[in-house]
Structure 1
């Protein structure tokens, strides 16, 4: 073999000279040939039988094809062409000239690069924007000083407008590595476009956390540029609103905590968004703490807080806490008259509000200005009927909210307390008999078929000296007769006589027939005029009856206990609460596992998290809906910290099957943080045992996932030498 090599080497000196020519060409642009690689093509014969000059497909300079530099392609000529194309907005031509220049002379100066990036940022061609982005990343890797901050900011904004969230995220992270980001006004504009999509929302929220981490890092070192990295309230609100819109409640809660740690002051809009996030996660304690301040807000802001009261009332109903729900409803009516018409100056100041139970040793506090509503505030579009609405400029309970309360009071057999609540509301509203809330509730119960419930409320109204229209009595009497409930009909007829209600001729006839036991078909139908409000209340009452879910309140209460225990790092109590949930045969929610993962993670108990992952898979196989991207991301981050790479790949496969976006940059950084040099030199053949071989396989699979191999990379000289030896 050695003699063959020498023979070939001597007889084909022009091959070596060809190699040297390529080395010389690359050296002219400031790079050694050994730094350049190429991808060997299996389809082309790179060395003929006569050892002619090989056909090189492409180099790793990032360009699709290489151009031979000619006398007419001097750097001055190409730069003039490039400048002219950019001034005339000939994007394709500018890109072509830039590629030609780069192939011959490398990257141009920083001014030219900046002009190119800025000029092509206005292009509507997504592929061209993507190409510009790739060039920026390559320049950053080889010579970052060629990049100017302003041009990168323009490119960020252009990419976000084109809904290219992934390149935007890479560019922002590239800038963040240099402790720089666009100005907060520009960054808000970028975020406004990013959060329009689900994947963009996840990337925006992760980058927001990274910006805050960088801010803390620089602040601790008293860096002058630290304040330029502090996000604004609007940025947090944009991300929180998107988290609500896409149902990413766990990520939303993380953003709220980051907001508290960073010291960004929340405004009135933030409070409403908090209420949505806490409502989705079933965290009532946090909302109760906020309510103490919201109750003192001025009249104009109180209208804005209708969604806050709506979310809190919804949680009380889900917890089956009728006492808290009725108390909140009364507060909504009673507090209106005591609210200040002008701004409450005390609430114009920053108020520290605890996040979580006061019984915890360490509780985060978020700074809130409850009377502040910024001009550029985020407007949340509600996608459901509210329980609390604004009518005639005042907050009131809606038909849907009232129907839920009636249904729950009836199910718990507490009609007397419902009547007291209705009487209290009636006094605050001061409406007429026909339009009273008490009368509407009685009529809705009659039309729903709850005749005895309607009769009980009617009796309570009589005791409380609240008048009920005569027509309501007659309608209930007719309904009793229609349902052949003779005893109840007779009792009600006597009650009507005893009350000496004013009756017309037809009503007198109906009462007389019921008392005598003779009922004619014509007397059975005495319809009361149905108003739109009454019809709406009746419909919601029927829906509330059919949608009642007793298991929901139980799992929410257990989740609250699990959340408290995990925050207090009382993991034995957490396990007991989880076992109780299993013993009651209640299906856990995404929040159940998310809280437990957070608790175990805080104590670095990663093995316990692998056991939870097994439970999650079993519940999912049984039909339990636990497929949440927030939950999957939490699992991946903890498995990476614990070194469970097989589990990492399992979760990634679950996400792939469900078309969920995975933030590879985030996972890659977490991997490099804990396992940078893991198994870099170990080969499968050198593994000590089967367990190590399998672990190496999973580590390699994960490395290939975030950095896919691009082919067999070898140096130019190395490839030529191997072919000659062959």
Structure 2
């Protein structure tokens, strides 16, 4: 019988064996039971192996399953390939990388979300077993397919697996993945984090300058950074945007004009006016600007910051500069060799960064979003000119701040230099129509002193308003003023001998009231004007400077003065202080700051910001304040804010590993307690800050911390590192 089975096994591969067995059975049906059983066995063997199957009583061989997987993948039968793959994995473990990555790529090419999810689950299972079997190119295809399917969370996880393998993702593929991820808010958060992790991962591995070539594919793809920066601006991610710009400087990205435009928006969002002034000096060195649409973003942002800081003198000078500049569409030969500078942080600090940008470099495939412009600068016939909204803001700011000298100088300069723009009469008439009669009269006096003629209609409009407002003293004073200068006015040349009564008659009957085109803009901007906003802006600027300079005591003193003067801090204030504490690893102070932030969030004095909460979670993980970690994550979950648990888990595991490395480094010399660890390595997180268990009951490998109730009450619940990791494992 054994010889029969061996013969059948040998003949099962013959295509004619099935037919031969059938013929033998019909011809020898009378040859006894042994002959019939022999032919039936051969027939069953031949029929069961036609599709590459196996004997029912025999385990599938390695080669058979691999052949089944290959054939199914070639035929596009993904379901059969996955079944064979599952059988192979249960019997023989994971297959070779060629087969594994072939399955991943085939699943990535499907348009079904079900198969994409299976591919993602497969990658996660292999990653937990042996990540060396995964191929970066197949993972990039899967990440692109997941991003195209608008599932940014799995796509970011696949990209992070590539980074953990120590390989740099393909820059072009990464751009396409980000392009799809940036369509959603969560995807924008994750794309910014992945790009930052990509730069940090390889910057940490570079020990000398020549190894910077590893980052050339990323460094040369400036569009990658431009997309992420613009998404940070669109979703108001203050902390992320600053981090990306700092990494651009460290990596050595040579930016283009689009980067300059997006960076100006970032500076406007953060409130970095000095940085934009430094950039303006660099831009002014160019004799011509070929890409007016990109530079429009810069001037719009700078002018907006001038108004935010209530610096009307600087705003007036910038508006005059815009009137003076004549834009050209070509570069001069001298400009080709120049490079612009994007300053990150104050130029007075050694810790500041710089990004160089090429004024002739522009990626035309990247289109800037104009939705978030302030509308202060508009393009007209290839020139960048201030809009009526900008002039209206200037008039309101000067009148409200009683800086009429700056407004008068602005009108005088426009007239003397014959600049094409708004006229002095329009400014005065606008003030008259808004009821700012004293401001209009002061500007008239300044123009008279500068010997600049003003139309009689402007005088008559002001005189008529004085009469309507029942202000006889001002009315008579203006009448006498008109009488003195009447000889220079064309309207009175027909009647050289006239009296004040004649002027009054002209005011009432002959000269119509002059209206200004600025009236509608003035009315709209007056409704949005808040006199206290510039004080908050100035205090935030000071706090930002001190935090960048690691002068936290001065930053806190400024914050205290801010509160003493009843100036309400905003979200930017706490973001600046948090970043300052985080850069110095002052985690205990961050817990106090979190209490202040939480109180203001409860009273809705500041808006909920994911960027701020995300930074708090990371800092509490590094500091070992696990109760605060759970509290912030609970707050984020309550308000439906996305928690990047993959990032939190990896950051927490890295911090715990660092803690144990330093602990094991001194275990041979003396017993190490948690209190001694602070003296050994001051920058390390102190995991005993909130220990709930007695010291003699604590294990050397477990860090138990007391967890306050999320609502602020006391709780006896105890969280360990493993419990925090378990919470963060739910992806």
Superposed CA deviations along residues 601-647 of structure 1, whole A, max 9, x for unmatched, are 33332111111111112222332114211211221122111111111
Aligned to 2:390: 401
CA drift at 1:458? 3.1
Residue equivalent to 2:205: 218
Q: Which residue of 2 aligns with 1:230?
A: 218
Contact conserved, 1:237 with 1:270, CA < 8 A, in 2?
A: yes
Q: Does the C-alpha gap of structure 1 residues 706 and 546 become closer, same or farther in structure 2, counting only changes over 3 Å? A: same
Q: Is the 8 A contact 2:463 2:507 kept in 1?
A: no
Report deviation, 1:123: 2.1
TM-score by length of 1: 0.78
Matched, 1:569 2:555: no
Which residue is 1:158 aligned to?
A: 145
CA distance in 2 between partners of 1:708 and 1:620 (Å): 27
Tell me which residue corresponds to 1:170: 157
- Corresponding position of 1:423: 412
Give the equivalent residue in structure 2 for 1:548.
529
Q: Provide structure 1 residue ranges, at least 5 long, that are not aligned to the other structure.
A: 1-66, 710-726
CA contact (8 A) 1:493 1:514 kept: no
CA deviation profile, 1:349-389 (whole Å, cap 9, x unmatched): 55565432233233322222233223333422333442122
In the superposition, relative to structure 1, how do residues 270 and 408 fare at CA in structure 2: closer, same or farther (>3 Å)?
same
Q: CA deviation at 1:163?
A: 1.5
CA distance in 2, matches of 1:684, 1:356: 42
1:312 maps to what in 2?
302
Query: Deviation string for 1:66-114 (max 9, x for gaps)?
Result: x998769776666566555544545555545544554555444433333
Q: State the SS of the aligned residue for 1:342.
A: coil
Shift of 1:162: 1.2
* Greater mean deviation of Cα atoms: 353-362 or 284-293: 353-362
Deviations along 1:475-510, whole A, 9 cap, x unmatched? 3344334444444444444544542434499x99x9
Q: Secondary structure at the match of 1:180?
A: coil
1:110 and 2:74 aligned: no
Provide the rounded CA distance (Å) in 2 between the counterparts of 1:340 and 1:356.
32
Deviation, structure 1 residue 154: 1.4
Greater shift, 612-621 or 297-306, is seen at 297-306
Distance 1:123 1:648 in 2: 39
Return the TM-score normalized by structure 2. 0.77
Can you list the C-alpha shifts for 1:487-544, whole angstroms capped at 9, x where unaligned? Answer: 4444444544542434499x99x99778669997xx599454x6xxx54x22221233
Cα pair 1:385 1:400 within 8 Å, conserved: no
Equivalences for 1:86-105 in 2 at 5 Å? 86-87=73-74, 89-92=76-79, 94-96=81-83, 98-99=85-86, 102-103=89-90
Structure 2 residue aligned with 1:660, among 641, 665, 678? 641
Determine if the alignment matches structure 1 residue 460 to structure 2 residue 442. no
Distance 1:69 1:173 in 2: 43
Indicate yes or no: 2:435 matched with 1:449. yes
Judge conservation of contact 2:464–2:507 (CA < 8 Å) in 1. Answer: no
Q: CA deviation at 1:706?
A: 0.9
Distance 2:480 2:183 in 1: 65
Q: Does 1:694 align with 2:683?
A: no
1:191 shift after superposition: 1.1
- Counterpart pick for 2:257 among 263, 268, 271: 268
Aligned residue number for residue 614 of structure 2: 633
Aligned to 2:458: 472
Secondary structure of 1:305's match? helix
Is the aligned partner of 1:278 residue 2:264?
no
For 2:557 and 2:109, how far apart are their aligned partners in 1?
59
Instruction: Give the 5 Å matches for 1:298-447.
Output: 298-336=288-326, 341-343=330-332, 345-346=334-335, 348-350=337-339, 354-431=343-420, 436-447=422-433
- 8 Å Cα contact 1:636-1:648 kept in structure 2: yes
- Which residue of the partner structure matches residue 185 of structure 2? 198
SS of 2:291's equivalent? helix
Decide which moves more: 218-227 or 294-303: 218-227
2:243 aligns with 254
Bigger Cα displacement from structure 2, 277-286 vs 83-92: 83-92
**Alignment of 1:622 onto 2:570:** no
Secondary structure at the aligned position of 1:550 is classed as coil
- In 2, the alpha carbon distance for the partners of 1:383 and 1:142 equals 47
* Higher mean displacement: 75-84 or 611-620: 75-84
1:576-591 maps to which residues of 2 (within 5 A)? 576-591=557-572
Counterpart in the other structure of 2:16: none
Partner SS for 1:336: coil
- CA distance in structure 2 between the partners assigned to 1:694 and 1:526 by the alignment: 79
Matched, 1:648 2:629: yes
Distance 1:651 1:455 in 2: 57
Deviations 1:318-354 (A, max 9, x none): 11112222222222233437x7942564565555654
3-state secondary structure, aligned to 1:650? helix
| 2:126 counterpart SS class | helix
User: Does 341-350 or 413-422 show the bigger shift?
Assistant: 341-350
- Superposition deviation, residue 158 in structure 1: 1.1
2:118 to 131, 136, 141: 131
Alignment match, 2:48: none
Q: Is the contact made by 1:120 and 1:129 (CA closer than 8 Å) also made in structure 2? A: yes
Instruction: Tell me the equivalent position of 1:596.
Output: 577
Deviation for aligned residue 1:185: 1.2
- For structure 2, the residue ranges without an aligned partner over 5 or more in a row are 1-53, 661-673, 675-686, 708-717
Tell me, yes or no, if the aligned pair for 1:493 and 1:511 is still in contact at 8 Å: no
- Could you say if the C-alpha distance between residues 85 and 538 of structure 1 is closer, same or farther in structure 2, counting changes exceeding 3 Å? farther
Residue in 2 that maps onto 1:287: 276
CA contact (8 A) 1:344 1:371 kept: no
Structure 2 CA distance for aligned equivalents of residues 705 and 511 of structure 1: 90
C-alpha displacement of 1:236: 0.9
Give the counterpart of 1:613 among 594, 610, 617. 594
CA contact (8 A) 2:268 2:301 kept: yes
SS at 2:260 equivalent: helix
Instruction: Say whether the 8 Å CA contact 1:214–1:229 is kept in structure 2.
Output: no
Q: Which has the higher contact order (CA 8 A, sep 6+)?
A: 1
Q: 1:327 to 1:119 in 2, by over 3 A?
A: same
3-state SS of paired residue (1:285): helix
Structure 2 residue corresponding to 1:670, chosen from 651, 657, 679? 651
SS of structure 2 residue aligned to 1:569:
coil
* Root-mean-square deviation over aligned CA pairs: 3.7
